[in-house]
Structure 1
Amino acid sequence: MARLNLLEETRFEKLPVSVYADQDAGSIEIAARIAALIVAKQEKREVAVLGLATGASPVKVYTELVRLHKEEGLSFKNVVTFNLDEYFPMSPTSDQSYVRFMKRHLFDHVDIAEENIHIPDGTIPVEEVHTFCESYEHKISSYGGIDIQLVGIGRTGHIGFNEPGSAPNSGTRLVTLDDLTRRDASRDFGGKENVPVKAITMGVGTIFKAKKILLMAWNEKKAAIVKQAVEGEISADIPATYLQLAAQVEVILDKDAASLLTRFDTPWLAHDVVWTSGMTKKAVVWLSMKLNKAILKLTDEDYNNNGMAQLVTAHGPAYTINIQIFNELQRTITGWPGGKPCVDDSHRPERAEPARKNVILFSPHPDDDVISMGGTFIRLADQGHNVHVAYQTSGNMAVWNDDVIRYLEFVQDFAKAIDDDNGATRNIYEHVRAFFATKRPNQTDPEIIRRIKALIRKGEAIAGARFVGLADENIHFQDLPFYDKSKFHKEVSFEDDIRQTMKLLRDIQPQQVFAAGDFADPHGTHKVCFDIILEAMLRLRKTEEWTKDCWLWLYRGAWHEYPVNEIEMAVPLSPQETKRKRLAIFKHQSQKDLPVFPGDDPREFWVRAEDRTRETAGLYHKLGLADYEAIEAFSRWKFEL
C-alpha cells in the first residue's frame, strides 16, 4: 500500500488524517476495512451494518468491493445498509436517484438481500416525511447502530446533505440544499434549474452514532474545504467541523486533497524541512505575501518570526535569499513564449533555437485555447512560429437548445432565399423542435442534434483561431471518441484517442506542446484530455528522436491559476493584447453571457480570464517585480529520463 509518511508533524490537525498516494490507494484501503468488518461479523454470525454515501468520492470503494465479491468470494449476505441521503422529490427509477446510483455501482453486482437495503424514500408525500425520518432512525437503532459510516464532504462543508447551519445533534430530516450544492449537481440534472431544492438526509447526530466514521476526499478541488474541516474552528458554517467532536472519526485523503493542510502546504510551520530550491521559493513567496512586503524588503527578523529561522541560518542572510528568489521569479517573465532567437537563453524559460518552432496548442473544449492562453496564442502567431491548434472534443454538450433552433432556422431561411428548399432541412427542424418539447432533464441528445451543436462550436473555434492569425490548415478538430462514448458507456477505452493524438504529433513534430493543466474543470474533461496527450507523448518518446526536443507546457486559467511559486513561464500582456484576447473569446458566442455549464463562478469566461491574468500580474507586482496589465502563466511538465 502506497502511503505517505504518517510520522510528520500533525499538530495543526484536529482530526486523525491518513494520506494516500492517490484515490485508488485510499479507496482500496477503505474497501479492505469494510471487507474485514464483514468477514469478522460473518465469523460471529452477526450482521454488518454499513452507512453508505453517494457521489463521486465512494465510487472506487464500491468498485473494489465488487471486485472482492467476484474475485475473492466476499459475501454480502450478512450486510445491512443505510444510505445517507436522497433528493426530494425523487423517483427511484430516475437517472439521478441515489437508488439507481447504488444499484449501478454496488447492489446489482453483489449478493446483498433486497430487504437489507435502506435508502431514504424520495417519493413519499411531504406530510409523511417526518414520520418516515423517525422510522429510519428507529430502523438503524434496531440493528444496533451503524458499524462503519462512509461520508464524503461537499464544497460547502456538508456531510450527507447537512448544509451550513445544521445542528450537531440533528437527526434524519428534510433539508433545503445550498445553492453551491445544487450548482455542483447541475451537470447530472442538465442544469441547476432541474436540481431538486430539497433532500432527505441523515443528521449530523445520526452520523455521530456510528461506531466508526470514515470521511473520504479526493483531488485538489476538495483541498480547501478539507483544510477548514480538519484544521479550522468548529462552526455551523462548516458542518464537517462537527466531526472534531467525535472520537471515532478518521479522515482518508489522497495527496491532492491533503495538499493545503499545513504539514504539506507550509510545512516549515509544522516541522523541520529540507530547504530545497523549490521549498525555499515557495516559502519566500508565502512570507512576502503574508507580510505584504516586496521580496527584496524581507529581513532576518521577518524570517525568524515566521517559522523560517532554519532557512536563514542555513542559507542566509535574508538579503542573499531574497536576491536569489527575486532573480528566479524575474527570469520566468518573457515576452517571447516561443523563445527569443539569437540570445543567451540559459536564464530564459524557453530555448532560443530553433527560431521558428513547430507548436501545437491542445484545447480540450473549443474555447479553452483563447480563454486560458489567448494572449500567448496571439504572441506565438505574431512572432512567426508555425502554430497549430487541436480542439480535442466537440464541446457539443455545452450549447443551449435555443441556439440549435436559431441555427436551423437560419439554414431553412437561407435555403428558401436561394430557392433550394428540398424539405430535408424542414424535416430536421421539426424533428428537433419535437424532441426539445419533450426532452427530459439531462436526457442525451440524439446524434443529429449533437452534430449540430458540434458544428456551432466548430464554427466559433475556427473564427477564433483565424482571428489569432492561423491558416485553416493549421486548425485541427480531433473530436476524440471518448467524449461521446462516455455519454453511453460507463467503461471507455482511450486507445483510439491516444492513437489519433500520436498521429497528429508525429505529423507536426512540434518543439512546443501546450496542454490544459487546469484539472479543476468540474466535468473532468481537462484531466482526461491531458492524460491522452501525456500517454501519446510517452509512447512516441520511446521510439522517435524528435520527441527529445519537444517540451510540454501546461496552462490554466479557465477555472483557476498557478500559484506564483509554480510558474515557470510568465507571459506579460499589454492592454492592447488583452483586448485582442477578449475579442478572440467573443468569437465563441454560444459561451457568452451565460454558458450551459458555468461551474460555481458567475462571471463570464472572458471576465474570469481577464481577472485571473490581472491577479497574476498583481501578485508579481506585490512581490516587487514590474507592474504589467496581465500575465498568462505556464508550468513545464518534466518527463522522466
Structure 2
Amino acid sequence: MSRLNLLEETRYEKLPVTIFSNQVAASKAVARRIADLILARQQTGEQAVLGLATGVTPIQVYQELVRLHLEEGLSFKNVVTFNLDEYYPMQPDAEQSYVSFMNKHLFDHIDIDKANVHIPDGALSREKVEAFCLAYEQKISAYKGLDIQLLGIGRTGHIGFNEPGSAPNSGTRLVTLNDLTRSDASRDFGGKENVPTKAITMGVGTIFKAREIILMAWNAKKASIIKKAVEGEISADVPATFLQLSDNVEFILDTGAASELTRFDTPWLVKDCIWDAQLVKKAVIWLAQTLKKPILKLTEEDYNNHGMAQLATEKGPVYNINIDIFNKVQHTITGWPGGKPDADDRQRPERAQPAKKRSIVFSPHPDDDVISMGGTFIRLADQGHEVHVAYQTSGNTAVWDDDVLRYVEFSMDFEQSQGRDTTVLKALYDDMRAFFKTKQPNQTDPKPVQTIKGLIRKGEAIAGARFAGLPDERIHFQALPFYDRLKTSKQVSFEDDIVQTMDLLRAIKPHQVFAAGDFADPHGTHKVCFDIILEALNRLKATDEWAKDCWLWLYRGAWHEFEIHEIEMAVPLSPEEVKRKREAIFKHQSQKDVPVFPGDDAREFWVRAEHRTGETARAYDELGLANYEAIEAFKRWIF
C-alpha cells in the first residue's frame, strides 16, 4: 500500500496505530522493543527507566520478557521501574495488590534490583499520601523521566486510574474510581462491594513526560473505547483521547481491538472496497440504519452521499441492490429453527431434512440456554425434535453464601421432620457458618460449599429444561473441570474437557449444535466453553461420519446481540412465547433480583434478554420487514 493510500485509509485516526493479527505477536513485539532499549542502555552504561502497567493486557509482554531473561540471558540489572498505579487502601501482600501482580508476573522471575522497583504505596495513612505522590514525581524526574511507558485502557477510557474528568496536566495523586472500573474489577475482589473506591495513580501529565508511550489493547471488548480514543474528539470524558496531543505515542492493537476503527468497520468511508456479498449486506444495512430508512426506500443519492458511490456504480442500479439485501435479510427469518419439513430449503437458514433432528444446546452457565435462546429452545421441543441440553459448568461461583445456609437449614429441618439424625449435617452447617464469617474477598469456597452451590444451580437448570419440554434423560451436566481449576491457576489443560465433550457429542450424534458465541462475557467462560466445543467437533469431523453433516449455530443475548448484518437465522417470538421464555428464566431463582456477578448491566437477566430480543425485532421492523414481538438471533459457524 502506498503512503498516500495509507494516509487516506487512516484519515479518521488522530494518532499512530499498529495492528497485529493476535495479542501474542503484539506482546512479543512490545517486549522486543523494551529488550532492545535495555540492551542499548547496557552498551552505554546507562539505566533504562520503564513505566509499567498491570491488568490482563500486559501479562504476555511480561511473560516474553521473563523468557528473554531465562532463555536468552537478558539482564535487568540496569532497569528502573515505576508502576502506574495501586488501589487504595491496599496492603502490598494482598492477592489483589499490584505489588503481588508485578512480583508474580515479572519481578520474581528476573534479576532486577528490587531497590529499583517503585510501586505506589497503598498501605500509607491518608495524611501521608500527598507527600508520597509528590516524592514519586520527583523520583521519576531524578531519573530524567521514563523511557517507555506501557499503558492499557479501561472501558471508561481511563489510562492508569485517570478516570473521566482527569486533567491533561495532572500529576501523581489519589483518585476516586469510576463505578464501571470497580465493576470490571469485581471478580478479582469477590464482588464490587469489596473493590476499593480509591487508587493512587500517575497523572496524565506524568505519562506525557515519557519519551515513548505504548498503549496496548486486545480483543473486541476494547474496540468501542479504542475507537473513541483514536478517532474521537479530545475530551476529559475519555482521558485516553489526551494521548492525541502527544508526539511520542503509539497504539498497539490486535484485530479485535481495532475492529471498530473506521477503516475496518465502515471501510467504504475511506477507501475503495472489494464488494463481496457480506460487505454489501453490511453496508446497505448500515446505510438504512444511519438514515433511519427502510432498505427498499434507499436512493442513489443516499448511496452517493455516504461513501457508497463505488457500490452503486459496480453493483447498481441501487434499487436492485436494495431488493437483493431485503430478500437476504427476509430469508433469515424462520419459525422453524430445526428446519421446515418438506419445504424448499434453498433459501431457508436450516435444512428441511431430516424432518426430526437431534439438537443439543450447550450452555456455558446453567442459565445461558433459557436467557439467550429460551424461545428457540422451547420451539425446537414443541416441534418434536430430539433436543438435548448440556450445562458445561457447575456455575457454583455465582451463588450467594446465604443461599447455601438456607438450603442446608431446609435439609436439616426436613431430616428432623422425618425423625432422622442430623448430627453430620449440623456439623457441616456449623463449619460453613464459621467459614463465611471470616471469608475473605475472592477466597475459594471449601469443597462442600462448592458442591452445594453447584447443586443449587443444577436444580434450577433441571427445572428450566423441564419447563422447556425436555425429559430428564436429555438433560446433561458436564461440570467441566476447567471451571474450578481456573479458580486457582490460569495455566490449565483443557484436554479432559475436550474429551468429555467429544464423548457426549458422539453419544448424541446431533444434526444441530447450539453454542454460546457471546464472547463479550466479561468473565471469559463463554469463550473457553466455545473453544472446547469447536475443538471437539473438529476432532470428530476427522473420524465420525455424522459430524460432517452437523451444523454449529452460535447464539448470543446474555451480554449483547449479533449485529443485523451478521444474523443468519432469526427466530421470531410471539408475546406468549416471550412470556414462556421469561417463566423458564424465572426457574433460576438464585440468579434473580441481583446476581453475584452482574457485569456492568445491573438489570435482571430476564429484563436484559427481553430488551435485546425486542431491540432485534425493532431493527428488523425499521428495515422494512415484519414487526415481531421479539427475535432470537443466530449465526452459523463453519468448522
Q: TM-score range by the shorter chain?
A: over 0.9
Aligned to 2:47: 47
Whether the 8 Å contact between 1:6 and 1:18 is mirrored in structure 2 is no
Matched residue of 1:104: which SS? helix
Matched residue of 1:312: which SS? helix
Report Cα offsets for 1:325-353 as digits up to 9, x if no partner. 00000000000000001011000000000
Find out whether 1:487 has 2:500 as its counterpart: no
Aligned to 2:269: 269
Aligned to 2:167: 167
Matched residue of 1:593: which SS? coil
Whether the 8 Å contact between 2:412 and 2:422 is mirrored in structure 1 is no
Q: TM-score, normalised by structure 1?
A: 0.98
Aligned to 2:81: 81
CA positional deviation for 1:422: 3.6
Aligned to 1:90: 90
Of 6-15 and 300-309, deviating more is 6-15
Aligned to 1:402: 402
CA positional deviation for 1:70: 1.2
Aligned to 2:133: 133
Aligned to 2:566: 566
Find out whether 1:378 has 2:378 as its counterpart: yes
CA positional deviation for 1:541: 1.0
CA positional deviation for 1:7: 7.5
Aligned to 1:477: 477
Find out whether 1:392 has 2:392 as its counterpart: yes
Matched residue of 2:398: which SS? coil
Matched residue of 2:9: which SS? coil
CA positional deviation for 1:485: 0.8
One-letter amino acid matched to 2:79: V
One-letter amino acid matched to 2:113: A
One-letter amino acid matched to 1:244: Q
Aligned to 1:296: 296
Report Cα offsets for 1:341-399 as digits up to 9, x if no partner. 10110000000001111111000000000000000000000011111100000000000
Whether the 8 Å contact between 1:8 and 1:263 is mirrored in structure 2 is no
One-letter amino acid matched to 2:447: E
Matched residue of 1:68: which SS? helix
- The whole-number CA distance in structure 2 between the counterparts of 1:233 and 1:607 is 34
Structure 1 pair 500–8 and aligned structure 2 pair: CA distance change class (3 A) = farther
CA positional deviation for 1:46: 1.0
Aligned to 1:330: 330
Unpaired segments ≥5 residues, structure 1 = none
Q: TM-score, normalised by structure 2?
A: 0.99
Unpaired segments ≥5 residues, structure 2 = none
Report Cα offsets for 1:400-450 as digits up to 9, x if no partner. 011001101100100110011241110111010000011011111111100
- The whole-number CA distance in structure 2 between the counterparts of 1:404 and 1:40 is 59
- The whole-number CA distance in structure 1 between the counterparts of 2:472 and 2:421 is 30
Report Cα offsets for 1:176-214 as digits up to 9, x if no partner. 001110111011001111100100000000000000000
Aligned to 2:533: 533
| 1:82-161 alignment runs, 5 A limit | 82-161=82-161
One-letter amino acid matched to 1:298: L
Whether the 8 Å contact between 1:499 and 1:536 is mirrored in structure 2 is yes
CA positional deviation for 1:490: 2.7
CA RMSD of aligned residues (A): 0.9
Whether the 8 Å contact between 2:363 and 2:391 is mirrored in structure 1 is yes
Aligned to 2:361: 361
Matched residue of 1:244: which SS? helix
CA positional deviation for 1:67: 1.2
Aligned to 1:433: 433
Structure 1 residue ranges, 4+ long, deviating more than 4 angstroms after superposition: 5-8
| 1:442-591 alignment runs, 5 A limit | 442-591=442-591
Report Cα offsets for 1:207-261 as digits up to 9, x if no partner. 0000000001111111111000000000010000000000000001111111110
Aligned to 1:605: 605
Aligned to 2:251: 251
CA positional deviation for 1:480: 0.3
Whether the 8 Å contact between 2:416 and 2:422 is mirrored in structure 1 is no
One-letter amino acid matched to 1:281: K
Aligned to 1:594: 594
Aligned to 2:204: 204
Whether the 8 Å contact between 1:86 and 1:119 is mirrored in structure 2 is yes
- The whole-number CA distance in structure 1 between the counterparts of 2:237 and 2:484 is 39
- The whole-number CA distance in structure 2 between the counterparts of 1:45 and 1:572 is 70
- The whole-number CA distance in structure 1 between the counterparts of 2:464 and 2:424 is 30
CA positional deviation for 1:561: 0.1
Matched residue of 1:397: which SS? helix
Of 549-558 and 29-38, deviating more is 29-38
- The whole-number CA distance in structure 2 between the counterparts of 1:422 and 1:532 is 41
- The whole-number CA distance in structure 1 between the counterparts of 2:396 and 2:7 is 48
- The whole-number CA distance in structure 2 between the counterparts of 1:284 and 1:20 is 29
Whether the 8 Å contact between 1:334 and 1:348 is mirrored in structure 2 is yes
Report Cα offsets for 1:18-70 as digits up to 9, x if no partner. 11111111111111111111111111111111100001111111111111111
One-letter amino acid matched to 2:149: Q
One-letter amino acid matched to 2:608: R
Report Cα offsets for 1:573-617 as digits up to 9, x if no partner. 000000000000000000000000000001100000000000000
Matched residue of 1:81: which SS? strand
Aligned to 1:423: 423
- The whole-number CA distance in structure 2 between the counterparts of 1:504 and 1:8 is 52
CA positional deviation for 1:6: 6.7
Report % sequence identity: 72
Q: Size of the alignment, in residue pairs?
A: 635
CA positional deviation for 1:320: 0.4
Aligned to 1:412: 412
- The whole-number CA distance in structure 1 between the counterparts of 2:313 and 2:300 is 9
Aligned to 1:177: 177
